[in-house]
Amino acid sequence: MGMHKETKDKITTLTECFELVIWMAIRYADGRHTYAPGDVRHAVKMFQSVYPSWKPQTDITIKKPNLTDEPELFYESDHLWDLVNNENERNQEDVQGDVP
């Protein structure tokens, strides 16, 4: 029977809305010591449960956290760098970070 055109249009609209605002939510939440990073990460994972191949756009403004900046406040879960940088960039950053 298939999905009705109206339903498809609504799903397309909701998907576009999510994609329009998720990058801002990721930037806002990254590095905050609040519920925001966890909520944003959860929203991305929920979206990916419906669209498994979807990934947030790469965002070069979000950097891998530096543990020495605030070691007493560092929680890896407060940072969303891993969501917006592809695997190759993560591996290169890890290698470059080890070079003195």
pLDDT tens sequence across 1-54: 577 999 999 999 999 999 999 999 999 999 998 999 999 999 999 999 999 999
Q: What is the pLDDT of residue 92?
A: 44
- Summarize the confidence of residues 65-80 as an average pLDDT: 78
Q: What is the pLDDT of residue 68?
A: 73
The pLDDT of residue 90: 46
pLDDT of amino acid 85: 85
pTM of the model: 0.76
**Tens-place pLDDT, residues 30-44:** 999 899 999 999 999
73 alpha-carbon distance from chain centroid: 21
Of 9, 28, 27, 29, nearest to 17 by C-alpha is 9
- The first and second tokens of residue 93, run together, are 């950053």
